Amino acid sequence: MGDLRKEGAILTISEVSEKYGISQDTLRYYERVGLIPRVPRKANGIRVYDEHSCGWVEFIRCMRSAGLPIEVLIEYVGLYQQGDGTKEVRKQLLLNQRDQLIARINEMQVTLERLNGKIAHYGRVNEATESLKKEK
């Protein structure tokens, strides 16, 4: 296990928590609800995150940060565990989520433009105020 640990192939839950910025309780929750596939364990029950498990943690973290709902991700993991026969269903699920994410990004872009307009407005107001002060 020493050589694998150096390569990052086997990590403890505390190491995974630190690496991905996810609490240990959240990692346990993700596994318990099926958000990530069951993590391998040592004989004493200690979780050992291999590259496969870490890949799932990274994927879920990324998808959650993009706003994908837990329920959708649980469904995706469940489909994945059913095997290759679900590839098209998984693809469609991800396509639907991508469409929703694009819509949210577009909404956020509109909001960003509005914020930038307000900030620019206040910049112009401040400049005008400063200019008036100088004239006096």
Q: What is the pLDDT of residues 114-127, one digit of tens each?
A: 999 999 999 887 77
Q: How many separate helices (H) and strands (E) can be counted in the chain?
A: 6, 0
Collapse the DSSP code of 11 into the 3-class scheme (helix H, G, I; strand E, B; otherwise coil) and give the result: strand
- Rounded-to-integer distance, Cα 28 and Cα 24, Å: 6
> Given this model, what pLDDT does residue 4 score?
42
User: In this structure, what are the phi and psi dihedrals at residue 3, rounded to the nearest 5 degrees?
Assistant: -65, -40
User: In this structure, what are the phi and psi dihedrals at residue 31, rounded to the nearest 5 degrees?
Assistant: -70, -45
Q: What is the pLDDT of residues 23-78, one digit of tens each?
A: 999 999 999 999 999 999 999 999 999 999 999 999 999 999 999 999 999 999 99
Q: Which helix (H) or strand (E) holds 28?
A: helix 24-32
CATH class of the domain at 1-68: mainly alpha
User: In this structure, what are the phi and psi dihedrals at residue 122, rounded to the nearest 5 degrees?
Assistant: -65, -30
> Given this model, what pLDDT does residue 91 score?
98
Distance from CA of residue 2 to its chain's centroid? 30
Residue 107 has pLDDT above 90, yes or no: yes
- Rounded-to-integer distance, Cα 16 and Cα 46, Å: 13
